[in-house]
């Protein structure tokens, strides 16, 4: 069974800071890695995904994947108070339609 672990558990940063979130997974055969954002009382919202080794940039978000070390990271540039949420790393298990989620990192961006 795939295991997804995230760090840190929580993070408090000032507005404008660069945020770095980490995720490790156990199955090198896993497919895409997704990052979801979840605000209190809401469903998760997909932010960005990556499949190939390397990095991918979308707006203020950059994601890095290293399959050899089974590690993926999400970086948020110029963080805003509206970025305050739980960030969930999720691993797609091939063509099964199944996502395995990590426990999440709670981010608080202080104005």
Partner 1 sequence: NTKITQSPRYLILGRANKSLECEQHLGHNAMYWYKQSAEKPPELMFLYNLKQLIRNETVPSRFIPECPDSSKLLLHISAVDPEDSAVYFCASSPGTVSNERLFFGHGTKLSVL
Residues that bind partner 1 (CB under 8 A): 4, 31-32, 34, 41-46, 49, 51, 88, 92, 94-99, 101-104
Q: Which is nearer to partner 1, 72 or 102 (CB)?
A: 102
Cis-peptide into 28, omega within 30 deg: no
Q: How far is the CB of 44 from partner 1 (least distance, A)?
A: 5
Per-residue tokens: 50: 């990556």
Q: How far apart are CA 104 and CA 89, in angstroms?
A: 7
Q: How far is the CB of 111 from partner 1 (least distance, A)?
A: 26
Q: How far is the CB of 90 from partner 1 (least distance, A)?
A: 8
Q: Which is nearer to partner 1, 2 or 75 (CB)?
A: 2
CB atoms within 10 A of CB 23: 26
* Contact assessment for residue 6 and residue 90, using Cβ atoms and an 8 Å cutoff: no
Beta strands at 85-92 and 33-38: parallel, antiparallel or unpaired? antiparallel
Q: Which is nearer to partner 1, 64 or 101 (CB)?
A: 101
Q: Which is nearer to partner 1, 55 or 110 (CB)?
A: 55
* Contact assessment for residue 33 and residue 25, using Cβ atoms and an 8 Å cutoff: yes
Q: How far is the CB of 102 from partner 1 (least distance, A)?
A: 6
């Amino acid at each position: 069974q795939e295991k997804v672990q995230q760090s840190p558990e929580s993070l408090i940063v000032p507005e404008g800071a660069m945020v770095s979130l980490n995720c490790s997974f156990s199955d090198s055969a896993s497919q895409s890695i997704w990052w979801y954002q979840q605000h209190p009382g809401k469903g998760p919202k997909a932010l960005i995904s990556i499949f190939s080794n390397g990095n991918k940039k979308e707006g203020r978000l950059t994601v890095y994947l290293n399959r050899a070390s089974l590690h993926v990271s999400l970086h948020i540039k110029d963080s805003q108070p509206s970025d305050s949420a739980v960030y969930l790393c999720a691993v797609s298990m091939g063509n099964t339609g199944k996502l395995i989620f990590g426990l999440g990192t709670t981010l608080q961006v202080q104005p």
